[in-house]
Amino acid sequence: MIRKVLVIRFSALGDIAMTVPVVASFCAQYPDIEVTMLTSKMGEKIYRAVLPDVKNLQIRGCNPKTDYPGIPGLNRLFGELRKEKFDALADLHNVLRTQWLGLRFSMSLSLKASASIQKGRRDKHNLVNHRIDWQLKSSIERYCDVFARLGMPVNLTFEPKPLVAKEKQEFAVGIAPTAQHRGKIYPKELMQKVMKGLLDARPDLHIYLFGAPDEQAEFDQWCELNPERISNTAGRQTLGDDLKLMSQLDCMVSMDSANMHLASLVGCRVVSIWGATDIKAGFFGYRQKTADAVSLNLDCRPCSIYGNKPCRKGTYECLYGISPDVIVQRVLNGNNSQA
C-alpha cells in the first residue's frame, strides 16, 4: 500500500504552476496519502499561496543548481529524501537531475512504484514542422498520466478561486507584456496601443503592469502614458502579492508565459497572445477559454514549442499582424472573432 508519495518539478515557473491543479486534486482524492512536493523556491511560494491548508501536502523548496550542485549535491539530496521513506515517486520533470534521483531510488529498492512524465516530444516536433495539426495532450494531462501509471488516477477537481475578495470598484486589467523568448512577445509599441485603447474605451478602467524586477524602470516609463490609471507592480511586490492582485482583476492580458498560468490558478480570466507558439502544443492556461486565445492563422505557425527559435521569415508577422484593436475588444467584450 502506498502511503507516502514524492512529487518533483523544479522548473519553469509556468510548468510548476500547471502542477498545482493536479497535486491539489490528488491530495483531495487520496486524503490518506502523504504528499511531498519537491520544487523550486519560487514554486514553493506558489504552492504556499494557492494551497495553504492542504493537510496531507508538504512543500519543500530548493534550487538544486545552488543548494545541491553536481552529482555530490544530488546524492546528498537523495540521502535526505530517502530518510522520509517514500513509497512512490512521481517525476513531473524528467530531466537529468530528476532522472538521477529516480535512479538512486531505484538502486536503493526503497520504492514500491515510480513513474516519470512522458513529454510527447515526437508529436511536438511534428506539430511545429506541420506534419500534424491537432490538439496535443496538455501538460496537465501528462502530469495526471504519471499518477495513473503509479496506479492512482486523478480526476481534476481543483477549482481556481481568488485568494482575496475583490475590493477595487474599477475595471481592473493586468498586462504582463513580456516572456522569455522573442517569439512569444507582442511588440511593445503595439502593446502600448492596446493600453491606450483600453483606457480610451472605459474611463473606469485601471491597468496593472506585471513583470520582473529588472523591468521596473522600463514599465515606469510606460506608466507615463497615464500615471493616474496605470500602476507598475514589477519589482515592487512579492509573488504572493501578485497572486492576490490577480485575484482582483477582471482580466489579465498575457503572453504564453508564467503569468497566464499564475492568473489561471486564482480564477482570473486571461486574454492570451500567441505568436510562434500555439495552444495545440498543450501549454494553455488551466480552465481558460480558447476564445480568449488571440492568434493569427498563418501557414508558418506554430514554428516553435517554446518560442525560442528565430522567425523563419524574419518578420514575426504572427505577432506584428495582430491588431491592438482585436486585443482591446477581446478584453472588453470577449469577442470571439479571429484576429
Given a contact cutoff of 8 angstroms between Cβ atoms, the answer to whether 48 and 56 are in contact is: no
Q: What is the pLDDT of residue 334?
A: 66
Q: What is the mean pLDDT of residues 152-179?
A: 94
Is this structure's pTM higher than 0.75?
Answer: yes
| Distance (Å) of CA 193 to CA 84, 187, 189, 198, 225 | 54, 10, 7, 9, 10
Q: Where exactly are the structural domains of the chain?
A: 4-149, 171-333
Class of domain 171-333 as given by CATH: alpha beta
pLDDT tens per residue, range 276-307: 999 999 999 999 999 999 999 999 999 999 99
Q: Model confidence at 336, in pLDDT bands (50, 70, 90)?
A: very low
* Annotation: CATH topology of 4-149: Rossmann fold (3.40.50)
Question: What is the reported pLDDT for 17?
Answer: 98
Give the pLDDT confidence of 43-78 residue by residue, as tens digits. 999 999 999 999 999 999 999 999 999 999 999 999
- pLDDT tier, 335 (very low <50, low <70, confident <90, very high otherwise): very low
Across the range 103-127, mean pLDDT stands at 96
**118-121-126 Cα angle (round to 5):** 140
- At residue 167, the pLDDT reads 81
Give the Cα separation of 283 and 334 in Å (integer).
Answer: 21
Q: What is the pLDDT, as a whole number, of residue 338?
A: 42
- Environment class of residue 146 by beta-carbon count within 10 Å: exposed (0-12), middle (13-18) or buried (19+)? buried
**How far apart are the C-alpha atoms of 13 and 25, rounded to whole Å?**
19
- On whether the CB atoms of residues 252 and 227 are closer than 8 A, the answer is no
User: What percent of the chain lies above the pLDDT cut of 70?
Assistant: 98
206 with 181: CB under 8 angstroms? no
Report the range of poorest mean pLDDT among 153-157, 178-182, 290-294, 334-338: 334-338
Q: Is the pLDDT of residue 249 over 80?
A: yes
- Phi then psi for residue 169, to 5 deg, are -80, -20
Q: How many C-beta neighbours within 10 Å does residue 51 have? A: 17
